[in-house]
A and B are shown apart, each in its own frame.
Chain A
């Protein structure tokens, strides 16, 4: 195509769009250092690092952080096991009900989170299950399965059947093949899926408000601060922590799956 150059207008719109996506987040970082405690005044009247110390000494933040880490770790582990199993089954066999199963897997993220939340809540209510860390984990693992599944199934498709047959021909049993052939090949895809699932669970708030009862994960703590602000700069410090805790796994997932044709985050 002779006119294979982007017009100036398009270039500006595209770069402007990218900036639109990123600048607001940088603002959070700036506000974490502001000396103004009660309003969101811009520009900040002064800069200080005292809020990091204040946040460090707040036990409620530590409790929420600990709960979030616990929930995200267990939910990720469960999702990785269940997601790998289902992706192994779905990767090449065609069987009765395959389409329905794939719909069932994506349903928890295709329907709005508020639906997942209220259904779990009403089910807990009907069955008289008291809210606990496990009720949160139950909800999180459900929508994390699809994330692991997406990453694993793409890798399974790329893996040729020949490798597995060769392993069998050389005398390996199913478990040896799994350990020496399948797992090393799947490794990075599973890791990437697990990291994204962790990031998603660590940050989830919509389903969690329905399944947490009186417990506060870090996002729920933030939500309460947003609705009834107390020390605004402390919220900014926590926002930075949450951002970092989700940003790093995402970046890692990108580098883990970069070489393949599949991509880690295609569709949340």
Chain B
């Protein structure tokens, strides 16, 4: 007697298994329905509500939201006071992105090309831990550092460089009463908080530069700096662009740092927060938040064309 090739069914579980085997599409739909329902309803639904609100306006007399389609609210964004906020945010985002790229490069370069064994792990954890550790704690730490009575002032007094610090603070526009109330301070905190997002994609891109290409470059008579400029940098560029997506977007949307550090100048994130909260002007807040969305969509499509997505 030979054993049957097909085992007998042992109840519901087996029957379901057979059903899924015959209908893989149904199984797929079953897997996807809960997460898609969640993201579709909770997330896309809310985003859509926001978009809708941005086409409403506020009644000037009653202060109530008028649910009629209008572009008036978007026109308000072009008012000098509001447009300044957008411009300031974009400038800060660009500066922070540049600062992150410059500071991140040596770390990423060393971690990708020279760190081996133990040091590789040290660098990996050394970048990963600040990336994931508490955002507020990091901001708070800088509040301590930049305070007028804080460690920087102390260090400059101890090294007799107070004059330099004062000269920096006396700079027009970016200077201020103390580091914690100036644009310089805000810039430093932004760079500190977002720099891991720049290092990681940069390091990934640098790690993918094949050693054979560097050898070829040397065989063809290039000096070290020539190899660096003409081989390594262009190949690392997609990584830099990938990192800049994060640093730019995160700076643009942040409203905690400008609130805690800096001269209380308004930024897009803060404007959104204040407009929806104390001012109760949800339509204008919604219109304001469309600015980062549109800019990021343009940025992402440009980055995609530059091949940055492969470096993510």
Contact = CB atoms under 8 A, between A and B. Distances in A.
A binds B: yes
Interface of A: 1-6, 10-11, 13-14, 17-18, 20-22, 24-25, 27-28, 31, 39-43, 81-83, 85-86, 88-89, 93, 95, 101, 104-105, 107-108, 110-116, 118-123, 125-126, 138, 141-142, 145, 171, 173-176, 196, 199-200, 203, 205-206, 209-210, 219, 222-223, 226-227, 235, 239, 242-243, 246-247, 250-251, 254, 263-268
Interface string B184-211: 0000000010011100100000000001
B188 to A, nearest CB: 10
A14 B131 contact: no
A81 B38 CA distance: 11
A159 B193 CA distance: 35
Contact of A20 (B103, B110, B111, B250): B103
Contact of A42 (B45, B149, B197, B249): B149
B136 A205 contact: yes
Nearest to A258: B121
B192 A24 contact: yes
Given A104-B40, A108-B43, 11 more contacts: A4-B114, A13-B107, A18-B126, A28-B140, A93-B24, A116-B43, A118-B272, A119-B289, A122-B53, A122-B286, A223-B256
Interface string B61-102: 000000000000000000000000000000000000000000
A209 B273 contact: yes
A81 B42 CA distance: 16
Contacts of A95: 28
Contacts, number: 267
B137 A114 contact: no
- The dominant DSSP class at the B interface is helix
- The dominant DSSP class at the A interface is helix
A55 B147 CA distance: 23
Contact of A40 (B113, B131, B147, B195): B147
Interface residues of B, number: 99
B34 A227 contact: no
A196 B147 contact: no
A133 B255 CA distance: 23
Shortest 10 CB-CB distances between A and B: which pairs?
A112-B253, A14-B110, A13-B106, A119-B46, A123-B46, A17-B107, A173-B17, A24-B141, A40-B147, A86-B35
A31 B144 CA distance: 8
A145 B136 contact: no
B151 interface: yes
Contacts of B142: 24
A145 B104 CA distance: 29
A112 B254 contact: yes
Contacts of A14: 106-107, 109-111, 123
B13 interface: yes
A268 B14 CA distance: 40
Given A243-B137, A268-B131, A18 B272 contact: no
A205 B149 contact: no
B44 interface: yes
A95 B256 CA distance: 41
Interface of B: 7, 10, 13-14, 16-17, 20, 24, 28, 31-32, 34-36, 38-40, 42-47, 49-50, 53, 103-104, 106-107, 109-111, 113-114, 122-145, 147, 149-151, 153-154, 192, 195-197, 200, 211, 214-215, 218, 224, 245, 249-250, 252-256, 259-260, 268-269, 272-273, 276, 282, 285-286, 289, 292-293, 296, 300, 312
Contact of B136 (A1, A86, A122, A223): A223
A18 to B, nearest CB: 5
Contacts of B149: 39-42
Looking at B14, B42, B44, B140, which has the most chain A CB atoms within 10 Å of its CB?
A: B140
A190 B10 CA distance: 30
B156 to A, nearest CB: 11
Contacts of B215: 1
A191 to B, nearest CB: 16
Contact of A206 (B114, B245, B255): B255
Contacts of A247: 129, 133
B312 A267 contact: yes
A25 B132 CA distance: 13
A112 B269 contact: yes
B278 to A, nearest CB: 13
A205 B135 contact: yes
Given A89-B32, A145-B38, A222-B140, A114 B43 contact: no
